[in-house]
């Protein structure tokens, strides 16, 4: 019953069209009077429709409202037609109000007539509202919007920070079954099956990471998915087992596994099997079969299908049962922020009722918990009483049918109208597909769902919080962020988008009939070889066209798309030859077409192109000069991984609208043209890994709009042009690994907007220019590994906005000049050349974190050190030359964590040490020079964890030691000099963990030892002197 939910997209489309009409009317000059009147009347009608459509959507979910759902469907598609027509409106045309695709009076008249017909059609639809009695005004919409505003490849890794609720019993049961099977040698196949979202993969992850299986020789995780490939499964297992990789045939795979599996304990997880073919399942069982002594091969299979589970198992399959209602309630409480709410009693009564409606599905409980997070008791009751609970929904993607739980439907229903559109659009990607964040956001922009990328990131954040999107495990770097969708959520997206999406198999011509695709706007075309006319298999109103599995397709010609007047986004992967698509195309993605060696040089057909994706077109040899003369509208160009392009054409600088350019990995490029500085609109530039570029053009400083520049590992660049300081808008500069640069230009200080500078690994730089202090906006500076720099310029203290400084590994610096007082985080680990901290160091009143690990040259801390009043974390491990801490040290009243591991030169702690009243963590391991702890030590009232392992010089603990009332963990193993523990030791009332291993000098434990009532863990190995425990210990 897809129409039930598909109608909920209507309000979002209506809002988009209303905004487009308003924008068109803003360009009033040059519009014919009657044409302007049509636009005005249509806008008024759309505004009136917008006032009632949300109430219509809310009522339409009831089963008996079929006529209302049909009305919403007609309205939505009429609005989409208007949107496609308005896309041809060009407010920036030289003659205001002209339509860019129409020339001549005759065509203007045709367009005006078309607009008039559309206005009449939309008015007829609007008049039909009277039959339904919708609520006039924005009351229903305001309530819904306020509620919302307030607010898959799998791996073996499980989130250790998250508590998995309700599966401990089933985990134990499965482990017991596997353990019982070990009485016999051989292979045990145990399937786990159940509804999507039930937690099959999570349960498999818990078993995989259980201590028992970590002792096996091998653990293997294979994500199978719908694309069942027996050879790939076999190769993946062989790879995990360390076997040979040249396994081309199935026979070789069988032989290899026959050698690798016997005689070992192996756990294999085959996650998410869909194949129903009995013969394929039998081949899989045969491939993994072992029947030799000493062999234990445990295979766990996860699947939705009971029939698959029963066909593949060697014993009994395990059906994953729904969670109990109270566990669903626990999940809802977790994600709804229940513990932070008032009137918990009333909320719990409603919440328990909602939990019973989640069907025992963890994913459903999690999604509904997020919906409830921002609601008060009235909102909880509204969710509980929603009509959606009374309906059942099903999805049929021609391969399988699955129930879409009402709880997920409720989460969808509570989305903003535009967010619904954004979510439903995700159905255009294949099931299990990794969705690139950047691609998704630009496709949303292409259809006016959003206006700017930052809005897209916010919407993605919402979808992640609702578990409607999940981070992909394939995320590999800072830029290529990817997401997947859970199968159950994907079913919902497919259901929602309904007949607007068609998946067409060009190889199956019998099923392709454009007459049955009346409402289709988005097409995923598979197995297309170019032999059939696209117009015969694709509807003319198509807006998005994604090609996949097109290995036999050599190229596409302009004429192929002449029928598709509304096409805006087209993705063509793995093409060998490209002929530019229709002139109206605005978004073209050719990602991964590695066999394509050239682009057409036509400039006239792409004047409207906004987005061009050439990522990973590694076979591309050059960019044609003629092409870039015509790309006046291009704003985004992605060409990362185009490693064979050696030079950019001079016409490149004519891309006057270009805002984003990504050239990461263009390792063949040797020079940027002088015209490059003409890219006046450019805001983001990535030339990371362009290691053969040796110099930036002198015009580079002309990039006046540039805000972010990534030039990581551009090791060939030896000098930055003097014009570099002209980048007046630059806020982020990442030049990490530019080891060839030896000096920064004096103009560098002219980067007045720079807030973040990453120059870590620029080991060739020996001096910073005096102008460096002119970076008045700089807040974050990474210069770790700049080992060639020996001194900071005098102006460095003038960086008044600097809060974070990483200078670890700057071993060449011998003198630390005055630092900015604004610093809150300072990392100077491994600055072994520094011998003394300047007396003004204590003036860093805002400093909260200081890392001086490995500063082995420092011999003394200044008396002013105690002036670091905001310091919370101090790491000084390995500062072995420091012999004494200043008396002012106890003035660090905010210090919570102190690590002095290996400070072997220190012989005494100052009496003021006990004044560290906020200290919770102290590590003095290896401080073998300390012979006594100060009497004030017991004043550390907040201390919870104390490491003093290997402090062999200490012979006695002060009587005040028992005053450490908060201490829970005490590690003093290896303190061989201590002969007796003070009587006050029993006063450590919070102590739960005590390690005194190797304290061979202790001969007796004090009678008060029995007062350690909280102690749960005690290690005494190596305490050979202790012969009897005190009476109180019992």
pLDDT for residue 146 is more than 60 = no
465/200 Cα distance (integer angstroms):
21
Model confidence band, residue 514 (pLDDT cutoffs 50, 70, 90): low
Contact between residue 575 and residue 600 where contact means Cβ atoms under 8 Å apart? no
pLDDT band at 138 (very low <50, low <70, confident <90, very high): very low
pLDDT value of residue 512: 57
C-beta of residue 954 within 8 angstroms of C-beta of residue 977: yes
Average model confidence (pLDDT) across the chain = 83
In sequence order, what are the residues at sequence separation of 6 or more whose Cβ sits closer than 8 angstroms to the Cβ of residue 542? 520, 521, 522, 523, 564, 566, 567
Q: What is the pLDDT of residues 278-337, one digit of tens each?
A: 888 998 988 888 877 778 889 999 987 788 888 888 888 888 888 888 888 998 998 888
Instruction: Note the pLDDT tens digit of each residue in 708-724.
Output: 999 999 999 999 999 99
What integer pLDDT is reported at residue 102 of this predicted model?
A: 43
Average pLDDT over residues 890-909: 94
Q: Are residues 281 and 359 in the same domain?
A: no
Q: How confident is the model at residue 355 (pLDDT cuts 50, 70, 90)?
A: confident
**Alpha-carbon 797 to chain mean position:** 37
907 within domain boundaries? no
**The last residue of a domain, from among 659, 678, 697:** 678
| One domain, residues 470 and 597 | no
- Residue 237 pLDDT > 50, yes or no? yes
**What confidence score (pLDDT) does residue 944 get?**
94
Instruction: Please report, for the domain that includes residue 597, its CATH number.
Output: 3.80.10.10
The domain that holds 189 is classified in CATH as: 3.40.50.300
How many C-beta atoms lie closer than 10 Å to residue 346's C-beta?
A: 14
The whole-number pLDDT of residue 110 equals 62
At residue 912, does pLDDT exceed 80? Answer: yes
Measured between alpha carbons, how far is 355 from 334 in angstroms, rounded to an integer?
12
State the pLDDT at residue 693. Answer: 95
What local confidence, expressed as pLDDT, does residue 7 receive?
61
Give 726's pLDDT tier (boundaries 50, 70, 90): very high
Is residue 293 a part of any domain in this protein?
A: yes
603 occurs within a structural domain: yes
Statement to judge: residues 183 and 132 lie in one domain: no
Q: 226 in a domain, yes or no?
A: yes
Domain membership of residue 798 (yes or no) is no
188 within a domain of the structure (yes/no): yes
Residue 486 has pLDDT above 90, yes or no: no
pLDDT digit string, tens, across residues 676-697: 999 999 999 999 999 999 999 9
pLDDT above 70: percentage of residues in the chain: 85
159 Cβ contact partners less than 8 Å away, ≥ 6 residues apart: none
Burial of 836 (0-12, 13-18, 19+ CB in 10 A): middle
695 domain residue, yes or no: no
Same domain (yes/no): 484, 516: no
pLDDT at 554: 60
Q: Which of 243-247, 580-584, 621-625, 728-732 has the highest mean pLDDT?
A: 728-732
* Residue 90, pLDDT score: 47
- The reply to whether 183 and 304 lie within a common domain is yes
Q: What is the pLDDT of residue 274?
A: 82
Q: Are residues 331 and 399 in the same domain?
A: yes
Give 980-1007 pLDDT, tens digit per residue: 899 999 999 999 999 998 898 888 888 8
Same domain, 515 and 486: no
- Predicted confidence at residue 65, as pLDDT, reads 65
Q: What is residue 106's predicted lDDT score, i.e. its pLDDT? A: 53
The pLDDT tens digits for 8-48 are: 778 788 888 888 887 777 765 445 556 677 778 888 888 88
Same domain, 334 and 273: no
Residues facing residue 995 across a β-bridge: 971, 1019
Select from 121, 149, 177 the last residue of a domain. Answer: 149
Q: Name the band, by pLDDT with cuts 50, 70 and 90, for residue 484.
A: confident
pLDDT of residue 91: 42
Do 330 and 315 lie in a common domain?
no
Q: What is the pTM of this model?
A: 0.70
**200/108 same-domain check:** no
Check residue 396 and give its pLDDT.
43
Confidence of residue 759 (pLDDT cuts 50, 70, 90): very high
| Neighbouring residues of 965: CB distance < 8 A, sequence distance ≥ 6 | 941, 987, 988, 989, 990
Among 546-560, 762-776, 903-917, 962-976, the minimum mean pLDDT is found in 546-560
Confidence class for position 395, pLDDT limits 50, 70, 90: very low
Containing structural domain, residue 416: 325-494
pLDDT above 70: residue 79: yes
Q: How confident is the model at residue 112 (pLDDT cuts 50, 70, 90)?
A: low
DSSP character for 329? H
pLDDT by residue (tens digit) across 857-889? 999 999 999 999 999 999 999 999 999 999 999
> What's the pLDDT band for 821 if we cut at 50, 70, 90?
very high
Grade residue 97 by pLDDT with cuts at 50, 70 and 90. Answer: very low
pLDDT bin (cut points 50, 70, 90) of residue 6 is low
Q: In this predicted structure, what is the pLDDT of residue 400?
A: 38
Angle at which helix 437-446 crosses helix 453-465, to 10 degrees, equals: 120
In the three-class reduction of DSSP (H, G, I as helix; E, B as strand; rest coil), residue 921 is classed as strand
* 143 and 236 in a common domain: no
How much is the pLDDT for 166?
66
Say whether both 376 and 283 belong to one domain.
no
Candidate from 348-362, 761-775, 958-972 with smallest mean pLDDT: 348-362
Domain boundary residue, one of 93, 119, 149: 149
- Structurally, the chain folds into a number of domains equal to 4
User: Is residue 122's pLDDT more than 70?
Assistant: yes
CA–CA gap between residue 385 and residue 387 (Å, rounded)? 7
- pLDDT in the model for residue 96: 33
Per-residue pLDDT tens digits for 439-474: 899 999 988 899 888 999 999 988 887 778 888 866
Q: How confident is the model at residue 528 (pLDDT cuts 50, 70, 90)?
A: confident
CA 169 to chain centre: 32
In a domain, 828, yes or no: no
**Cα–Cα distance between 465 and 296 in angstroms, integer?**
41
């Amino acid at each position: 019953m897809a129409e039930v939910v598909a109608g909920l997209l209507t309000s979002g489309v209506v809002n988009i069209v209303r905004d487009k009409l308003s924008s068109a009317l803003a360009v009033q000059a040059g519009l014919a009077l009657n044409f302007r009147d049509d636009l005005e009347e249509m806008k008024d009608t759309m505004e009136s429709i917008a006032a009632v459509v949300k109430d219509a959507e809310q009522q339409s979910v009831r089963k008996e409202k079929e006529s209302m759902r049909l009305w919403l469907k007609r309205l939505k598609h009429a609005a989409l037609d208007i949107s496609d027509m308005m896309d041809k409106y060009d407010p920036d045309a030289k003659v205001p109000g002209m339509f860019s695709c129409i020339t001549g009076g005759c065509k203007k008249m045709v367009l005006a007539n078309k607009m008039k017909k559309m206005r009449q059609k939309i008015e007829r639809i609007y008049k039909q509202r009277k039959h339904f009695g919708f609520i006039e005004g924005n009351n229903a919409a305001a309530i819904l919007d306020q509620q919302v505003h307030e607010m898959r490849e799998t791996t073996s890794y499980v989130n250790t920070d998250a508590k998995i609720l309700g599966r401990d019993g089933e985990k134990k049961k499965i482990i017991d079954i596997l353990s019982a099977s070990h009485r016999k040698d051989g292979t045990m196949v145990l399937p786990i099956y159940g509804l999507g979202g039930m937690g099959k993969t999570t349960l498999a992850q818990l078993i995989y990471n259980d201590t028992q299986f970590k002792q096996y020789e091998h653990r293997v995780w294979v994500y199978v998915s719908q694309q069942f490939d027996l050879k790939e499964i076999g190769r993946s297992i062989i790879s995990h087992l360390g076997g040979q990789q040249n396994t081309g045939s199935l026979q070789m795979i069988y032989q290899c596994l026959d050698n690798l599996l016997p005689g070992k304990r192996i756990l294999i997880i085959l996650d998410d099997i869909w194949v129903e073919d009995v013969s394929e399942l039998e081949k899989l069982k045969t491939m993994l079969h072992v029947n030799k002594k000493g062999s234990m091969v445990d295979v766990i299979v996860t699947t939705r299908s009971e029939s698959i589970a029963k066909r593949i198992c060697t014993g009994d399959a395990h059906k994953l049962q729904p969670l109990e209602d109270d566990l669903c309630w626990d999940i809802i409480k977790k994600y709804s922020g229940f513990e932070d709410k008032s009137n918990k009693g009333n909320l719990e009564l409603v919440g328990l009722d909602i939990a019973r409606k989640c069907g025992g599905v963890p994913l459903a409980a999690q999604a509904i918990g997020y919906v409830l997070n921002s609601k008060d008791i009235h909102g909880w009751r509204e969710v509980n009483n929603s009509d959606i609970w009374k309906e059942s929904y099903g999805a049929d993607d021609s391969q399988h049918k699955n129930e879409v739980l009402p709880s997920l439907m409720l989460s969808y229903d509570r989305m903003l109208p535009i967010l619904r559109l954004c979510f439903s659009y995700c159905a255009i990607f294949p099931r299990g597909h990794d969705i690139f964040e950047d691609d998704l956001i630009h496709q949303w922009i292409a259809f006016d769902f959003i206006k700017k990328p930052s809005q897209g990131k916010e919407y993605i954040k919402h979808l992640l919080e609702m578990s409607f999107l999940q981070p992909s495990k394939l995320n590999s770097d800072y830029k290529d962020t990817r997401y997947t969708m859970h199968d159950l959520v994907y079913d919902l997206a497919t259901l929602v988008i309904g007949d607007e999406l068609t998946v067409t198999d060009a190889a199956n011509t019998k099923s392709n009939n454009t007459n049955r695709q009346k409402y289709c706007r988005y097409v995923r075309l598979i197995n297309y070889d170019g032999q059939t006319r696209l117009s015969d298999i694709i509807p003319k109103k198509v807006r998005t066209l994604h090609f996949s599995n097109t290995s036999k397709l050599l190229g596409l010609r302009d004429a192929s798309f002449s029928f598709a007047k509304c096409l805006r986004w087209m993705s063509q992967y793995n093409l060998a030859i490209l002929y530019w698509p229709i002139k109206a195309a605005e978004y073209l993605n050719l990602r991964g077409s590695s066999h394509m060696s050239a682009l057409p040089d036509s400039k006239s057909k792409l004047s409207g192109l906004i987005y061009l994706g050439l990522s990973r077109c590694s076979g591309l040899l050059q960019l044609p000069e003629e092409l870039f003369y015509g790309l006046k509208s291009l704003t985004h160009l992605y060409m990362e991984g185009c490693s064979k392009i050696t030079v950019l054409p001079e016409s490149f600088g004519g891309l006057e609208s270009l805002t984003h350019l990504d050239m990461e990995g263009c390792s063949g490029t040797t020079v940027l043209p002088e015209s490059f500085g003409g890219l006046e609109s450019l805001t983001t530039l990535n030339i990371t890994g362009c290691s053969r570029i040796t110099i930036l053009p002198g015009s580079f400083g002309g990039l006046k709009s540039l805000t972010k520049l990534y030039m990581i590992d551009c090791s060939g660049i030896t000098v930055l042009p003097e014009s570099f300081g002209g980048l007046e808008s630059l806020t982020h500069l990442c030049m990490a690994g530019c080891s060839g640069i030896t000096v920064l230009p004096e103009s560098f200080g002219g980067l007045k907007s720079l807030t973040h500078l990453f120059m870590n690994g620029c080991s060739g730089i020996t001096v910073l220019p005096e102008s460096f202090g002119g970076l008045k906006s700089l807040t974050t500076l990474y210069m770790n590994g700049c080992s060639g720099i020996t001194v900071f310029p005098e102006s460095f203290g003038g960086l008044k906005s600097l809060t974070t400084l990483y200078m670890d590994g700057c071993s060449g610096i011998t003198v630390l000049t005055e630092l900015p007082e604004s610093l809150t985080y300072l990392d100077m680990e491994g600055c072994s050349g520094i011998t003394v901290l300047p007396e003004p160091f204590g003036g860093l009143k805002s400093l909260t974190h200081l890392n001086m690990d490995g500063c082995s040259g420092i011999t003394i801390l200044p008396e002013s050190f105690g002036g670091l009043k905001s310091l919370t974390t101090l790491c000084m491990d390995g500062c072995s030359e420091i012999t004494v801490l200043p008396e002012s040290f106890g003035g660090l009243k905010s210090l919570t964590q102190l690590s002095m591991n290996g400070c072997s030169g220190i012989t005494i702690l100052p009496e003021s040490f006990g004044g560290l009243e906020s200290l919770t963590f102290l590590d003095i391991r290896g401080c073998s020079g300390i012979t006594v702890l100060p009497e004030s030590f017991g004043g550390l009232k907040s201390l919870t964890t104390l490491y003093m392992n290997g402090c062999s010089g200490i012979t006695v603990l002060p009587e005040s030691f028992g005053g450490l009332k908060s201490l829970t963990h005490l590690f003093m193993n290896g303190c061989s000099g201590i002969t007796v523990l003070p009587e006050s030791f029993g006063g450590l009332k919070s102590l739960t963990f005590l390690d005194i291993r190797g304290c061979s000098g202790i001969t007796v434990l004090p009678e008060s030892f029995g007062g350690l009532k909280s102690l749960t863990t005690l290690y005494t190995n190596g305490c050979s002197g202790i012969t009897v425990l005190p009476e109180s210990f019992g």
